[in-house]
Chains A and B, each alone.
Chain A
Amino acid sequence: MSTSPLASAPTHPTAAPAYAAPAAAAAAAATAPAASFPWSLLDRLAALRKNANLSSPGSWEGLHREVKSVQATNFLVEGAKFDLTSVMSPNFTVMHTFSWGSAQYPPSYHFGSMYATSKGMMHGQIDDQGGLQARGHFNWAASAASQAPAAATEPFDPSKPADQQAPLSPEVAKTSSTSKVTAHMSGQPGQNMVQLEHDHVASDYSLNVKAVNPNPFDKPPSWAPRNPVTGAASTASTATGVYQLAYLQSVTPAVALGTELVYQRMRPESEESALSFAVRYAPTPTTPVAPPANLPLGMPSPFPPVDPKAPAQVFTTVYSPGTGLVHSSYWRRINQRLEVCAEMQLLLTPFSKMGPGRREGLATLGFKLDTIHSTMRGQVDTTGRLSAILEERIAPGIGFQLSGEIDYAKGGGGAGRVGIGFVMEA
């Protein structure tokens, strides 16, 4: 500890928590500036975290992100879909989406537009019924390196051998501090949603604060104490909404622990809260990810190189004691073109006054396979549902999707759905 670890305070705000400041400042002024009791402890903690070589755990929402990018159900097309994207300039994009022929949803048209800069992003999408989905992001810690527009990087060109490909994006610190606003608006009252969120991802922890439909001026609940003199109903305000606080901390280079608190008060009369715990195990691979085994000898791998520091396997479990929900997932990258995943969701509630206990589960297996011009995803789960999607890149900017799903557990030999999609971007 020759240099003061407090110099790294911007990335480790816990080294100088604001609430401790007045008392600690007085103590520090009384003694030498180096080692008053609370500071030395915090110094040591900051140095310990620095030396432990911890990795960023990612955000709470992204705990299962690897599995979600593999599972076919997240990419299924129902009926037919036609996507037109106009890239007007590197920061400005306009999208049209037509979809029809689905058994569940009526034909629809969506118009979307997006404006993005290195600091922030605004995205709006309106459908033919007048419903608007608006999103805005603002990154407070935008650095030029980490926020280069995606269009500036050279796209992957499979005709070139691996060693002539554009190099991997340079080592960027995965730190960000982003405020987000999301709003869903439709004409009818009671169907509007506003979500305010702040996401702070630092080098070894992440913090997420979220408020959905916050309303600090709602009516008091019916059981609020009445005015003792006049007997009139209370005029005090109640804060309603859904509030979430999530924190993830890496404790070793491979293991991150986290917890999330959700407080719900949708109406003044009802109040609920729930606590969840998470473990994420993502070791850094010791050997680089292998190219596919069936390549002819000497042929350079036509697949994009994988970041050697990115974990090749991730195990995540989230447990919510209040609802008895266990959600765990395992993802593994086998080689440059193949990723596999397994997911398990369990609902375990003991017998109680609320009713009999429940014990239900759903397990899913999936894979994602890249070939040079296409991506294939397949998935099977324990309810007998089998789904697959093929995405074919016909030419740069033109893609074709074919998706299918069949539920063998449904009567009459199973119920299936197919879909085709056409994507054009220019």
Chain B
Amino acid sequence: MHEETRERIMKCLEWGRKAVHIGFIPFILYLGFTRSSPRPSLLRLISPLAS
């Protein structure tokens, strides 16, 4: 395999890693909010006491 191909693959992987690093938690929150019924209130994100 050529050195350039290898570097290109590594760069792609690094981009993917960054995307997961930034997007993973927002993705879980999005899934949780859209797929639970009844839809929980946003305030409960901060405190379990809010209803």
Contacts and interface: CB of A to CB of B under 8 A. Distances in A.
Interface of A: 84-92, 94, 111, 113-115, 122-124, 126, 132, 134, 183, 185, 192, 217, 219, 235-237, 424-426
Given A92-B32, A126-B25, A236 B1 contact: yes
Contacts of A113: 25, 28-29, 32
Nearest to B49: A426
B51 to A, nearest CB: 9
Contacts of A94: 29, 32, 44-45
Contacts of B24: 124, 132, 134
B21 A132 contact: yes
Contacts of A123: 28
B47 A86 contact: yes
A317 B27 CA distance: 42
A185 B48 contact: no
B48 to A, nearest CB: 4
B17 A185 contact: yes
B28 A192 contact: no
Nearest to A136: B24
A122 B31 contact: yes
Contacts of B35: 91-92, 115
Contact of B36 (A91, A183, A236, A237): A91
B2 A235 contact: yes
A85 B44 CA distance: 10
Contacts of B48: 84-87, 424-426
Contacts of B45: 86, 94
A237 to B, nearest CB: 5
- In order of increasing CB-CB distance, the 8 nearest A-B pairs are A89-B36, A92-B32, A426-B48, A88-B40, A86-B48, A124-B25, A113-B28, A185-B21
Given A86-B44, A86-B47, A94-B44, A115 B28 contact: yes
Contacts of A192: 17
Contacts of A219: 6
B36 A111 contact: no
Contact of A88 (B1, B25, B44, B49): B44
A408 to B, nearest CB: 40
B6 A183 contact: no
Contacts of B29: 94, 113
Contact of A115 (B10, B17, B32, B38): B32
Given A91-B36, A185-B20, A122 B28 contact: yes
Contacts of A90: 36
Contacts of A85: 48
Interface in B3-18: 3, 6, 9-10, 17
B9 A183 contact: no
Given A86-B48, A124-B25, A237-B1, A91 B32 contact: yes
10 contacts: A84-B48, A89-B40, A94-B32, A94-B44, A115-B31, A124-B24, A132-B20, A132-B21, A134-B24, A237-B1
A115 B32 CA distance: 6
B25 to A, nearest CB: 5
A368 to B, nearest CB: 28
A122 B29 CA distance: 10
Given A92-B36, A237-B6, A132 B25 contact: yes
Given A84-B47, A91-B36, A134 B20 contact: yes
Given A86-B47, A132-B24, A235-B2, 8 more contacts: A84-B47, A86-B45, A89-B40, A92-B35, A94-B44, A94-B45, A114-B28, A425-B48
